[in-house]
Amino acid sequence: MTQGFTLWLTGLSGAGKTTIAIELERQLADRDVRIERLDGDTVREGLTRDLGFSKVDRDKNIERVTFVAKLLSRNGVGVIASFISPYRAARDTARQETTNFIEVHVATPIDTCAARDVKGLYAKAFAGELKDFTGVNDPYEAPVSPEITLHTERETLNESVQTILTYLEARGLIPVAEPALSIS
Ligand code: ADP
């Protein structure tokens, strides 16, 4: 059995964390790896639905997710966690507490995220209708030395996913993909 890991995607809203996490999970499906995907939006509908977006609440959100990731990753599960997780200290705690923590900075610039505006939140934040919105009127502390940095403004989704898969293979955390059969 392969070891567990905690692949932690951090970045601004709309950076591509969820999209990458879903595609990564899909591509890992046929590699015989046990995966659990934890996503900011879905976790906030359940485990952390009592929390808001103050610094205290954001820290509690990540603290609870870290606890879940710790239990799973130490039991051989590959955790894909996609959370804005704007505070460096909270991510560093996750690094210390979980097994094989890998920080992935989805470093999409804010102008690209705002142009995508998947949920219409940037427009509201720039109009002053939303407070505590990361990158606009709330801090985002970028990782200092992430294991992986992705640039979705100039990479395709598949390229970003492939970067992660190659890294996980190199670390021996997932089986190497079998080469496609070529018929000559
Ligand atoms: P986040 O989870 O970081 O808030 P989402 O994944 O929900 O971001 O949204 C990212 C948006 O950007 C999606 O609409 C996705 O289709 C789009 N997108 C465009 N190019 C890329 C890319 N190369 N990688 C990931 N997402 C991309």
pLDDT of residue 86: 98
| Residue 15 CB–ligand 1 contact under 6 Å | yes
CA–CA gap between residue 82 and residue 86 (Å, rounded): 12
| Residue 104 CB–ligand 1 contact under 6 Å | no
- Tell me: the pLDDT tens digits for 14-54? 999 999 999 999 999 888 899 999 999 999 999 999 999 99
- Tell me: the pLDDT tens digits for 130-139? 999 999 999 9
| Residue 22 CB–ligand 1 contact under 6 Å | no
Q: Helix, strand, or coil here: 23?
A: helix
Contact between residue 15 and residue 152 where contact means Cβ atoms under 8 Å apart:
yes
pTM of the predicted structure, to 2 decimals: 0.95
Contact between residue 108 and residue 149 where contact means Cβ atoms under 8 Å apart:
no
List, by residue number, the catalytic residues: 85
Q: Output the CA 19–ligand 1 centroid distance in Å.
A: 5
> Which ligand 1 atom lies nearest to the CA of residue 156?
23
Q: Is the predicted pLDDT of residue 121 greater than 80, yes or no?
A: yes
> Which ligand 1 atom lies nearest to the CA of residue 41?
2
CA–CA gap between residue 78 and residue 183 (Å, rounded): 34
- Two tokens, residue 124: 């509201």
Q: CA-based Rg of the chain, rounded to a whole angstrom?
A: 17
Mean pLDDT, range 53-58, rounded to an integer: 96
- Tell me: the pLDDT tens digits for 132-167? 999 999 999 999 999 999 999 999 999 999 999 999
| Residue 116 CB–ligand 1 contact under 6 Å | yes
Q: Output the CA 131–ligand 1 centroid distance in Å.
A: 23
